[in-house]
């Protein structure tokens, strides 16, 4: 029905369908296996220096934030030169190189996830929750059911009622309703749910502040805080039974929720060593150092210098396509599909939907009610951006959401040193293997990703070890001698074996002939600036076999070792325009390459229509 009060036209009826085109997501994951071995750090005797070269295989973007300029065309569009010293020498910071090398060392040694920048997990839910009231009884939080009605300013509230005010971004005004308190709701871990609710409110506050202007003003006039002395109107949902029951609290009937599980909970044994006792450490924290939460610290045994230009080839300034921020809410990419799940999140799975009458906006409606079971998500692993040689990073559109950067062209080279102190022979050999990725030649296809624009194809680079020098100290003469180690011997002695998954994650030719891109979908029923945005793909993937309120995830991100790593492009067309399609996909051959340049016709369902209901 049209919203006449806002003069909004009827939404055209449409349906998402797969096209004949496909894409490869810019990132994939290295699966995590086994347990992390933690031991008392061993004191080594080797000290010295490793001399290295970085060679750009695709253009590099290392922005100099201190020398950024504002575009003449748009006040919020920034232009960045390549990072350099005051004398003009171009650099890649040592911390940037150290970060990617440490991540790789963690991968090849099955170490902990030392860095976790997003422990709080949250996402929007698609179904209507029940109105409730939260208040303190005898100093403890108690949840009550509630009846929700429209607010009438001519009728005064009684002691069992509370006014709810919530901002509606779509309508650009605040919505008011009255909640009347009902009976107590029995649930477990309510205090934890209240803490998660505070996190949820903080996410809303930050988002509104980011938008600014009228949206932030609307938020500030909303019922957006917990009332410690009175009643707080909100919405709730119960999942599970008995002691395993979880309660979720949200500020709106369909809104964002913070999950009970945090990323640290899902990492299990691979949680960062910073949460341990500081005594026993994984192989990476032993070498690179760590500061534990209890204050104990281990200093790093390796130190990286900045990488200085040897041959800097400027590719000029390029306006880059907009980058999307990582969204762990996309569980079909970041987690494995649980058994028998049509939809899921980090706490539970939906196994089916049942039609039931639900009160919504004062009326009883028959709606799809999810049948849920508690189920911890299984994270897919360590995130890697894939390499690609396709030149698709530039755009002619200048906005406040993208930037213009000076690039170092392919073939540019930089030198850096790594100083190591009191490490073991095993640590040295594994560290050298990590730097070279097991192949110490300029033409190797095993590469790192450095700098800005990794999802766009920028930043592929090869690290070559030029020399490994051991410093020997003579206590009698108080002098040093230097011994040069054989690099190939160190690499071969590392004992590291490259899995099929890792080979594809670090390989330049993995995506050869494929369209590496953010998820692609287009809503052709309502052309607009956002009709081709990446979020349309997730809407299509969740509703093509379901509805807007009863999600059914059709595809998950393929494992990097799967024969077919592509996903379909979606389009939304009017119902009378739907046509059958025969999706085209790429497939790897047995040798890890591609058949006939990469194009192979097959039924997509054979590979990606979630035959992935398997436990790993």
Predicted confidence (pLDDT) per residue in 435-468, tens digit: 999 999 999 999 999 999 999 999 999 999 999 9
Element (H, E) at 515: none
CA atoms within a 13 Å half-sphere pointing along the CA-CB vector of 356: 11
Q: Which pLDDT value is given to residue 466?
A: 98
- Percent over 70 (pLDDT), the chain: 87
For the purposes of burial, counting CB atoms within 10 Å of the CB of 143, is it exposed (0-12), middle (13-18) or buried (19 or more)?
buried
Q: Which pLDDT value is given to residue 3?
A: 43
Q: Which pLDDT value is given to residue 6?
A: 47
Question: Does the pLDDT value for residue 105 go beyond 50?
Answer: yes
Q: Which pLDDT value is given to residue 345?
A: 93
Candidates 215, 203, 334, 331; CA nearest to 257 is 203
Residue 583 banded pLDDT, cuts 50, 70, 90: very low
Which of 141-150, 244-253, 557-566, 589-598 is least confident? 589-598
Q: Which pLDDT value is given to residue 14?
A: 86
Question: Does the pLDDT value for residue 57 go beyond 90?
Answer: yes
**pLDDT tens sequence across 124-153:** 777 788 999 999 999 999 999 999 988 888
Sign of the torsion angle spanned by Cα atoms 136, 140, 146, 150: positive
Average pLDDT of the chain is 86
**Mean predicted confidence (pLDDT) in 311-318:** 98
Q: Which pLDDT value is given to residue 155?
A: 87
Question: Does the pLDDT value for residue 594 go beyond 90?
Answer: no
> Which ranges of 32-178 does DSSP label H, i.e. alpha helix?
94-108
Question: Does the pLDDT value for residue 400 go beyond 50?
Answer: yes
Residue 604 banded pLDDT, cuts 50, 70, 90: very low
- What's the rounded Cα separation, in Å, for the pair 91 and 311? 11
Pair type for strands 343-344 and 348-360: antiparallel
* Phi, psi (deg, nearest 5) at residue 38: -115, 130
Residue 159 banded pLDDT, cuts 50, 70, 90: confident
DSSP 8-state symbol, 90: B
**pLDDT tens sequence across 192-204:** 999 998 888 888 7
Q: Which two tokens stand for residue 60?
A: 């590099």
Q: Which pLDDT value is given to residue 506?
A: 98
Pair type for strands 46-56 and 460-474: antiparallel
**Mean predicted confidence (pLDDT) in 375-403:** 92
Q: Which pLDDT value is given to residue 526?
A: 86
Q: What is the DSSP string of 163-187?
A: EEEEEETTTTEEEEEEEEEEEEPP-
Buried b (16+ CB within 10 A) or exposed e, 334-360: bbbbbeebbbbbbbbbbbebeeeebee
Question: Does the pLDDT value for residue 184 go beyond 50?
Answer: yes
Question: Does the pLDDT value for residue 369 go beyond 60?
Answer: yes
Determine contact, residues 359/374, Cβ cutoff 8 Å. Answer: no
Determine contact, residues 289/298, Cβ cutoff 8 Å. Answer: yes
**pLDDT tens sequence across 28-52:** 999 998 999 999 999 999 999 999 9
Question: Does the pLDDT value for residue 592 go beyond 60?
Answer: no
Buried b (16+ CB within 10 A) or exposed e, 409-444: ebebbbbbbbebeebbeebbbbbbbbbbbbbbeeeb
**Residue scoring higher pLDDT (164 or 465):** 465
Q: Which pLDDT value is given to residue 519?
A: 96
Which of 164-168, 351-355, 420-424 is least confident? 164-168
């Amino acid at each position: 029905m049209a919203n006449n009060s806002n003069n909004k036209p009827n939404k055209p009826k449409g349906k998402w369908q797969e096209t004949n085109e496909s894409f490869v997501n810019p990132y994939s994951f290295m699966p995590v296996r086994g347990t992390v071995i933690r031991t008392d750090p061993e004191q080594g005797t080797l000290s010295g220096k490793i001399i290295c070269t970085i060679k750009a295989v695709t253009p590099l973007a290392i922005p100099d934030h201190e020398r950024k300029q504002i575009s003449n065309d748009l006040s919020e569009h920034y232009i960045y030169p390549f990072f350099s010293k005051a004398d003009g020498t171009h650099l890649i910071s040592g911390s940037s190189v150290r970060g990617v090398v440490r991540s790789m060392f963690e991968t090849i040694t099955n170490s902990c996830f030392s860095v976790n920048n997003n422990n709080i997990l949250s996402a929007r839910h698609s179904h209507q929750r029940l109105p409730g009231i939260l208040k303190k009884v005898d100093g403890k939080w108690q949840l009550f059911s509630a009846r929700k009605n429209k607010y009438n300013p001519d009728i005064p509230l009684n002691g069992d009622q509370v006014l709810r005010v919530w901002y509606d971004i779509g309508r650009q005004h605040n919505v008011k309703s009255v909640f009347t308190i009902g009976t107590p709701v029995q649930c477990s871990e309510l205090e934890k749910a209240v803490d998660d609710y505070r996190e949820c409110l903080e996410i809303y506050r930050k988002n509104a502040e980011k938008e600014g202007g009228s949206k932030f003003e609307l938020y500030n006039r909303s019922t957006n805080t917990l009332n410690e002395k009175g009643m707080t109107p909100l919405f709730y949902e119960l999942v599970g039974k008995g002691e395993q029951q979880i309660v979720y609290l949200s500020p709106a009937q369909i809104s964002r929720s913070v999950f009970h599980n945090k990323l640290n909970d899902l990492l299990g044994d691979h949680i960062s060593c910073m949460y341990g006792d500081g005594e026993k450490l994984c192989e990476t924290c032993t070498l690179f150092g760590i500061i534990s939460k209890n204050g104990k610290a281990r200093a790093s045994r390796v130190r990286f210098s900045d990488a200085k230009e040897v041959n800097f080839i400027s590719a000029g300034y390029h306006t880059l396509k907009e980058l999307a921020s990582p969204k762990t809410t996309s569980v079909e990419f970041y987690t494995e599909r649980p058994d028998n799940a049509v939809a899921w999140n980090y706490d539970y799975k939906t196994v089916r939907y049942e039609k039931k009458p639900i009160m919504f906006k004062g009326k009883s409606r028959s709606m799809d009610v999810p049948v849920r079971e508690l189920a911890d998500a299984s994270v897919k692993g360590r995130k890697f951006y894939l390499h690609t040689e396709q030149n698709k990073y530039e755009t002619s559109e200048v906005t406040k959401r993208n930037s213009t950067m000076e690039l170092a062209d392919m073939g540019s080279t930089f030198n850096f040193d790594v100083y190591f102190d009191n490490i073991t022979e095993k640590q040295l050999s594994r560290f050298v293997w990590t730097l070279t990725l097991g192949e110490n030649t300029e033409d190797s296809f095993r590469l790192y990703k450095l700098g800005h624009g990794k999802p766009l194809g920028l930043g592929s680079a090869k690290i070559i070890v030029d020399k490994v020098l051991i410093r020997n100290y003579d206590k009698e003469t108080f002098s040093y001698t230097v011994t040069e180690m054989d690099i190939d011997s160190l690499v071969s002695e590392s004992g590291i074996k490259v899995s099929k998954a890792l080979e594809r994650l670090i390989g330049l030719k993995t995506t050869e002939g494929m369209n590496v891109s953010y998820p692609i979908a287009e809503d052709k029923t309502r052309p607009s600036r956002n009709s081709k945005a990446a979020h349309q793909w997730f809407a299509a993937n969740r509703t093509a076999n379901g509805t807007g309120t009863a999600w059914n995830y059709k595809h998950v991100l393929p494992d990097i070792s799967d024969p077919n790593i592509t996903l379909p492009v979606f389009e939304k067309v009017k119902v009378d325009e739907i046509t059958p399609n025969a999706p085209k996909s790429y497939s790897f051959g047995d040798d890890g390459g591609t058949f006939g340049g990469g194009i192979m016709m097959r039924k997509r369902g054979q590979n990606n229509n979630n035959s992935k209901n398997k436990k790993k």
